[in-house]
């Protein structure tokens, strides 16, 4: 296995960097929502805030695992660590649990829009692709 960073394809670095930017937005959303930032929450309809406030602790924990697992996975990709696979796997578990709750709960109409469903689908697609991406680069010897 060649561990020379010069041998790592540029596409790897670009994708790893973009993954961190993508997942940083999820972290921003998580933090702003949970610290109750008034300016950020002003964009949310009141019924969505009530829905978030009513979430059980296990859903909040799943959301945290999903968000912070993804951020950790992206950082670990940039560090070329094989642990990126584990972090992205944990992220997917958190995403699965929170999605299960989201679609099983009585969501407000503001969360049942095509745009919201498209965003959920996009999050799933990116999360699965990042997990597969980390496995690929581990097989290639880029992740150590």
**With contact defined as beta carbons under 8 Å apart, do 79 and 134 qualify?**
no
Structural domains counted in the chain: 1
Predicted confidence (pLDDT) at residue 104 exceeds the cutoff of 90? no
Full residue range of the structural domain in which residue 135 is found: 5-139
Mean model confidence pLDDT for the chain: 93
Tell me the H-state helices in the chain.
Answer: 10-34, 38-41, 46-53, 57-78, 83-104, 114-139
Q: pLDDT tens across 126-140, in order?
A: 999 999 999 999 999
pLDDT at 13: 97
pTM of the model: 0.91
Give the number of other CB atoms < 10 A from CB of residue 87: 24
Give the number of other CB atoms < 10 A from CB of residue 2: 9
**With contact defined as beta carbons under 8 Å apart, do 76 and 87 qualify?**
yes
Flag whether 144 is in a domain: no
* CA atoms of 54 and 120, how far apart (whole Å): 20
Across 93-115, average pLDDT? 91
């Amino acid at each position: 296995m060649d561990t020379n960073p010069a041998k790592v394809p540029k596409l790897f670095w670009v994708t790893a960097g973009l993954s961190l930017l993508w997942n940083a937005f999820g972290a921003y959303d998580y933090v702003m929502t949970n610290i109750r930032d008034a300016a950020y929450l002003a964009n949310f309809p009141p019924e969505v805030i009530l829905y978030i406030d009513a979430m059980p602790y296990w859903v909040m924990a799943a959301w945290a695992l999903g968000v912070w697992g993804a951020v950790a996975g992206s950082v670990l990709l940039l560090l070329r660590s094989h642990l990126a696979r584990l972090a992205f796997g944990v992220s997917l578990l958190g995403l699965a649990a929170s999605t299960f709750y989201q679609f099983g709960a009585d969501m407000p109409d503001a969360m049942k829009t095509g745009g919201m469903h498209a965003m959920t689908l996009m999050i799933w697609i990116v999360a699965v692709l990042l997990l597969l991406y980390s496995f690929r680069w581990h097989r290639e010897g880029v992740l150590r």
